[in-house]
Structure 1
Amino acid sequence: MDKLFSSLKISINSDLYLKDPESSELGKKIVGNGILLIHQIGFEKFTFKKLGAEINSNESSIYRYFENKHKFLVYITNWYWGWKEFQLTISTHGMGNPTQKLIKGVEVMTHPVVQDFRFEHINEVALNNIIINESSKSYLTKEVDTDNKGGYFSVYKRVVGRIAEMVNTVAPEYKFSLSLSSMIIDGALHQHFLRDHITSITDCDAKITVTDYFIDLVEKTLKLENHD
């Protein structure tokens, strides 16, 4: 299993890059250090020139991999959702009880991120903070419809679909599985943001976790029982 994981690669839409960053050490360095730099200074202040200075490389070398910083943000956002899908798969594999599987899925999508050392060039904790604080900038653009048609959000939509499928399995009469799924996934990011920055409008804190809230919401919405 460890050998299998060591060769694992998160698949990303090839339209998001000019040269696959996973194909070279420089490409991995660009992605890994780009994540750390955005985490440190924010997406607005992030430039390829600053990233080039961080990795002691010419700005032009970064443009050989990515057309612009928007494509870079969409790329790392796709990587994040691909990684979460991987976590969802291995965490729920072989679970026979559909209700337990759904609850585990909710846990995977809502709990705090820890470093995954199977992907050495990516700091998943820093990336998670970017997703919480910056990922909406990847789709709140005038080009969102074009980007959607181009498949830029396919991994995210696939993750939403997988949670919705779990909902349908335990509550086939429930009519809003996709809405509930996307609300859990996006809502978890928002609640993490509020917990860290605007505490007066969330109940989530050191005692009540974001996962606690969404499990309670799912249980009461779908009237789930006996999933322990």
Structure 2
Amino acid sequence: MDRLLQGVQIRINEKLFLKDPESSSLGKRIIEFSIQLIDEIGFESFTFKKLGKEIGSNESSIYRYFENKHKLLLYLTSWYWGWMEYQLVFATNSIRNPQEKLMKAIFIMTKTIKEDSAFSHINEVLLNNIVINEYSKSYLTKEVDVENKEGYYIIYKRLVSRLGEMISEVDPNYKYPTSLASTILENGLHQHFLKEHFPSLTDCNSKVTPTQYLTHLVFNTLNNTIDE
């Protein structure tokens, strides 16, 4: 998969940046070190001033790429979901059995992330940590409706749609494929968070993975659809 992804360019909504960070070495350093710094100190404590010190550049140079740190977080999380979407498409495209396809999709969306050598300036493990811990901060805002209309969440919504279609292929009579699809994505992140920070609130641990739990949940839900 690494070789397949090496030629891939993940396209992000151009409204999220003032200058494409992929277009220069400084832009790539901004992305690389922002991931490291947010993972280290958290999004609340993260500032462009601190990032500037990390990359040895003026704070003003970062503002030439991103209007504010909220837009940067949206960029990073959009990149992550775009990367996950490519993995999902490559991993499931040749699978014809609907059950096997959905099972593979759940695995891709909920597995423990390993670093992908195809993108040298992006540490996917750290970015995954950020999505687990910080993603909700990108949309739990007063501006979410406006940002949604601007297409800031289009990649994430596309992922939910893909999963929903796979669920319907397994059980065409299931009435809530979109709700179940978004549950897979959101609860996958949540179970990883609970496993790390509130282990008493989840059955996921060193032996039971979020993937196992969600696979069990989804297929038992589809196998036991009730008529209303």
TM range (shorter): over 0.9
Aligned to 2:98: 98
Aligned to 2:44: 44
Aligned to 1:208: 208
**Paired residue secondary structure (1:85):** helix
Distance in 1 (CA, whole Å) between partners of 2:197 and 2:219 is: 27
Distance in 1 (CA, whole Å) between partners of 2:40 and 2:46 is: 9
Cα distance 1:172–1:199, how it changes in 2: closer, same or farther (>3 A)? same
Distance in 2 (CA, whole Å) between partners of 1:68 and 1:20 is: 14
The one-character-per-residue Cα deviations of 1:50-84 (angstroms, maximum 9, x if unpaired) are 00100001111100000000000000000000000
1:54-65 maps to which residues of 2 (within 5 A)?
Answer: 54-65=54-65
- Considering only aligned residues, what root-mean-square deviation do their CA atoms show, in Å? 1.2
The one-character-per-residue Cα deviations of 1:198-217 (angstroms, maximum 9, x if unpaired) are 01110000111100000101
Identity of aligned residues (%): 58
The one-character-per-residue Cα deviations of 1:120-159 (angstroms, maximum 9, x if unpaired) are 1100000000000011000000000000000000000000
Paired residues in the alignment total 224
| Displacement of 1:7 | 2.9
Distance in 2 (CA, whole Å) between partners of 1:178 and 1:139 is: 19
Aligned to 1:160: 160
Aligned to 2:70: 70
| Displacement of 1:4 | 5.7
Distance in 1 (CA, whole Å) between partners of 2:24 and 2:15 is: 18
| Displacement of 1:2 | 7.0
The one-character-per-residue Cα deviations of 1:180-223 (angstroms, maximum 9, x if unpaired) are 00001000100000000001110000111100000101110111
Distance in 2 (CA, whole Å) between partners of 1:199 and 1:212 is: 16
Aligned to 2:138: 138
| Displacement of 1:101 | 0.3
Stretches of structure 2 that go unaligned for 5 or more consecutive residues are none
**Paired residue secondary structure (2:200):** helix
Cα distance 1:113–1:2, how it changes in 2: closer, same or farther (>3 A)? closer
Aligned to 1:194: 194
**Paired residue secondary structure (1:120):** coil
**Paired residue secondary structure (2:43):** coil
Stretches of structure 1 that go unaligned for 5 or more consecutive residues are none
Runs (4+) of structure 1 moved beyond 4 Å?
1-4
| Displacement of 1:49 | 0.6
Aligned to 1:121: 121
Distance in 2 (CA, whole Å) between partners of 1:190 and 1:108 is: 16
Q: TM-score, normalised by structure 1?
A: 0.96
- Conserved in 1, the CA contact under 8 Å of 2:17 and 2:65? yes
Cα distance 1:2–1:103, how it changes in 2: closer, same or farther (>3 A)? closer
| Displacement of 1:3 | 6.7
Distance in 1 (CA, whole Å) between partners of 2:194 and 2:39 is: 17
